[in-house]
Amino acid sequence: MSETADRERNEEVTMDEIVALCKRRGFIFPSSEIYGGLGSTYDYGHYGVLLKQNVKGEWWRAMLQERDDIVALDSAILQHPRVWEASGHLAGFTDPLIDCKSCKLRFRADHLEDASCGHKPSKRPGEGPDCELTEARRFNLMFETHVGPVQDDASVAYLRPETAQGIFINFKNVLQFARRKPPFGIAQIGKSFRNEITTGNFIFRTREFEQMEMEYFVPPGEAARFYEEWIGLRLDWYTALGLRPGFLRVRPHDADELSHYSSGTSDIEYLFPIGWSELEGIANRGDFDLRQHAEYSGEKLEYFDQQSGERYVPHVVEPAAGADRATLAFLVDAYDTEEVEGRQRTVLRLHPRLAPIKVAVLPLVSKEGMPEKAREVFESLRHRVWAEYDEGGSIGKRYRRQDEIGTPWGVTVDGQTMEDDTVTLRDRDSLEQIRVPIAGLAEELAERLERPWQSPKR
Ligand code: ATP
């Protein structure tokens, strides 16, 4: 761990290589590309959809399926504008913005060291001879829109900049209908929108993205303990899904970084090609949110314990992750190249549970009944695991394609299959091939999917 902790950036792969692979294999495309692109949003293609779906699925699994104290929610993106007054976003969800009057670019005042000015040779803003920077001013990141046919001040609404507020405003509903008592949590996955001053680094920072947030409501005296517990749980989630521990770290915020409501925030950071950067934030938010919404809405947002007669406003511990950022980290951590029998191969060493396709079924050649047989095997597997059938091109080429989309197992139907109903089962990482009877294939794959997995890049 210490060896990686000293490093400033992940030098195993560049962001350009990740972008190129994602485009080449249909994971992720720049959005509106035929119109020159929007620059700040991305479209997910087939394998990207499946990969991100698996990331979100694993989050739901950890939050809901494997626990009994958290329930799900899917709240609206458009909410009453008072929500954002109460939450403090209208007044305070701002970044410091600096304009350069000379090159006309805009920068985040607190990210100047990562920015380059518009003049060549490119320097940091303010360091070139022609740079003319303005004073920093506050820029609100919320996207404004209008609800209904009349566009006036009364119809202004905002696209949510986080999913969390949708949870707080449903606290009462969940308390009543889910019959929960603190400690209990409400989890939500959904789109959020932020008019970021500068975007970039592929899907790391975009203006439209998906968040995975959980608000854990606890008795006030227990918040500090649960805050520590959730940092550990969330870190374990990433490592169990294959991220190498040496490429992860927890960074507690300094006092001057903390939001006004937070008595503690820690970021889980990953060593990206752009350096250590936030994957997820875990915050001890105290009772700020429920108190604010109670005040602004006039509703009582508290917990009454009928047995003890105790009444209190629960405190909140929040793990807030980004589905796109997590997907990017899994892609970066998985990317590998190696030479096999004199040929270079690129392989995504994804945790099998995250891999878009679990098994590829390939006839060795497109004749002698092999395609028909392989199709039969594929049909028998597809109901159990995500499978893909491919008969186009040489077997080597088809394997390379599957390696690049991270498919952990390949099944080949060959001459021997036609005689004894066995197939070869190839492992993406070790390249080991074993013969397995078709009849036992689905069980074998199901069993392999359940096994703990570690990155062979460790
Ligand atoms: P940053 O400091 O990177 O702007 P943040 O601290 O504002 O992030 P939070 O408000 O804590 O982020 O949001 C929780 C998570 O949502 C982040 O850890 C990140 O994974 C994700 N996220 C936030 N903003 C973006 C964005 N513009 N694009 C993609 N993911 C984002």
pLDDT digits (tens, 9 = 90+) for 229-244: 999 999 999 999 999 9
- Give the lowest-confidence range in 176-180, 278-282, 377-381, 409-413: 176-180
- Whose C-alpha lies nearest to ligand 1, atom 28? 205
pLDDT single digits (tens) 381-402: 999 999 999 998 999 999 999 9
Average pLDDT, the chain: 94
What mean pLDDT is predicted for residues 164-178?
Answer: 94
The per-residue pLDDT for 120 is 81
The helices-and-strands tally (H runs, E runs) of the chain is: 14, 23
C-beta of residue 331 within 8 angstroms of C-beta of residue 18: yes
Number of C-beta neighbours around residue 169 at 10 A: 24
Amino acid at the residue 384: R
The rounded distance, in Å, linking the Cα atoms of 26 and 42 is: 12
Pocket of ligand 1 (CB under 6 A): 162, 194, 196, 205-206, 209, 211, 278-281, 320-322, 324-325
Please, which residues have CB within 8 angstroms of residue 167's CB and are 6 or more apart in sequence?
73, 75, 186, 188, 213, 215
pLDDT single digits (tens) 244-286: 999 999 999 998 888 777 889 999 999 999 999 999 999 999 9
Atom of ligand 1 nearest to the CA of 207: 27
In which region does residue 454 sit, left (phi positive, over 0), alpha (psi from -120 to 50) or beta (all else)? beta
Residue 162 has pLDDT above 80, yes or no: yes
Max Cα-Cα span within the chain: 78
- Whose C-alpha lies nearest to ligand 1, atom 11? 281
Q: How far is the CA of 322 from the centre of ligand 1 (A)?
A: 6
Please, which residues have CB within 8 angstroms of residue 303's CB and are 6 or more apart in sequence?
175, 181, 182, 217, 311, 312, 313, 314
C-alpha dist (Å) from residue 434 to 306, 380, 399: 62, 20, 16
pLDDT single digits (tens) 212-230: 999 999 999 999 999 999 9
The per-residue pLDDT for 317 is 98
Atom of ligand 1 nearest to the CA of 278: 18
pLDDT band at 3 (very low <50, low <70, confident <90, very high): low
Give the residue from 314, 305, 409, 406 showing the smallest Cα distance to 361. Answer: 409
The per-residue pLDDT for 42 is 97
Which long-range CB contacts under 8 A does 390-397 form with residues at least 24 apart? 390/360, 390/361, 390/362, 391/362, 391/363, 391/366, 395/362, 395/364, 395/365, 396/343
Give the residue from 44, 16, 51, 6 showing the smallest Cα distance to 407. Answer: 51
The rounded distance, in Å, linking the Cα atoms of 456 and 427 is: 12
The per-residue pLDDT for 345 is 94
Greater confidence (255 vs 294) lies with: 294
C-beta of residue 94 within 8 angstroms of C-beta of residue 84: no
C-alpha dist (Å) from residue 346 to 21, 337, 343, 380, 428: 9, 4, 10, 29, 11
pLDDT single digits (tens) 319-344: 999 999 999 999 999 999 999 888 89
The rounded distance, in Å, linking the Cα atoms of 254 and 79 is: 32
Strand order in the sheet with 264-272: 70-73, 184-193, 208-218, 315-322, 275-286, 264-272, 248-252
Amino acid at the residue 278: E
- Whose C-alpha lies nearest to ligand 1, atom 29? 205
DSSP per-residue codes, 118-180: SSSS---TT-STT--BPPPEEEE-PPEEE-SS--SGGGEEEB-S-SHHHHHTTHHHHHHHTT-
Question: For 281, how many CA atoms within 13 A lie in the half-sphere containing its CB?
Answer: 13
Give the residue from 322, 291, 318, 320 showing the smallest Cα distance to 226. Answer: 318
The per-residue pLDDT for 117 is 84
The rounded distance, in Å, linking the Cα atoms of 85 and 80 is: 10
The per-residue pLDDT for 5 is 66
The rounded distance, in Å, linking the Cα atoms of 67 and 71 is: 9
The per-residue pLDDT for 116 is 84
What mean pLDDT is predicted for residues 189-204?
Answer: 93
**What SS3 class is residue 321?**
strand
pLDDT band at 115 (very low <50, low <70, confident <90, very high): confident
Q: How far is the CA of 192 from the centre of ligand 1 (A)?
A: 10
**What SS3 class is residue 289?**
helix
Three-point CA angle 220, 214, 76, nearest 5° = 120
Task: State which of 55, 56, 259, 325 you would mutate to test the pocket of ligand 1, scoring each by most atoms of that ligand within 8 A of its C-beta.
Answer: 325
The per-residue pLDDT for 1 is 44
Q: What percent of the chain has pLDDT over 70?
A: 99
The per-residue pLDDT for 281 is 98
The rounded distance, in Å, linking the Cα atoms of 84 and 31 is: 29
Give the residue from 92, 83, 77 showing the smallest Cα distance to 193. Answer: 77
The rounded distance, in Å, linking the Cα atoms of 224 and 50 is: 37
pLDDT single digits (tens) 423-447: 999 999 999 999 999 999 999 999 9
What mean pLDDT is predicted for residues 76-90?
Answer: 96
Tokens representing 287 are 């009772």
- Whose C-alpha lies nearest to ligand 1, atom 8? 278
What mean pLDDT is predicted for residues 110-119?
Answer: 84
